[in-house]
Amino acid sequence: MKKQLAAIAFCSAMLMSSQFAMAQAYRPGPPPPQQQRYRGMYDQGRHEGWYKRGGRIPPSYRGSRYVVTDYRRYRLRPPPRGYQYIRSDNGDFLLAAVATGAILSIIAASH
């Protein structure tokens, strides 16, 4: 009988200690690292508020890489005199003044 009581006491002690071990506070680990990928010219805060009607396109985006000369291919109207289309990295077209870079309108890409 003493062996049975000792075994029951031992098992009870083990059960109680396992419950205390399981009752520890949950602390989530660090978030998973974000995959780095190339982002468009207006992602990651690089546009600094200029990507809107009335904003000004930075000079680095007025180069031949972004200027659209074959606007008919994209079914765009011819730009007014003194304006040109600039294509953003996400496919939007910006109608901007050649001299100042002021954005007259933004034509959303049809993805």
Check pLDDT > 70 for residue 93.
yes
Q: Is residue 67, in this structure, part of any structural domain at all?
A: yes
Cα(24)–Cα(26) distance, rounded to whole angstroms?
6
Q: Is residue 73, in this structure, part of any structural domain at all?
A: yes
Cα(45)–Cα(27) distance, rounded to whole angstroms?
31
pLDDT in tens, 19-55: 555 555 666 667 666 544 444 444 444 555 677 888 8
Which of residues 5 and 104 earns the better pLDDT score? 104
Q: Is residue 1, in this structure, part of any structural domain at all?
A: no
> What number of other Cβ atoms are within 10 A of residue 79's Cβ?
17
**CA-closest candidate to residue 82, choices 58, 55, 104, 107:** 104
Q: Is residue 47, in this structure, part of any structural domain at all?
A: no
**CA-closest candidate to residue 53, choices 109, 108, 111, 6:** 108
Q: Is residue 71, in this structure, part of any structural domain at all?
A: yes
Q: Is residue 89, in this structure, part of any structural domain at all?
A: yes
CATH code, 71: 3.10.450.160
Number of structural domains (the chain) is: 1
pLDDT at 43: 45
Q: 85 lies in which domain range?
A: 59-107
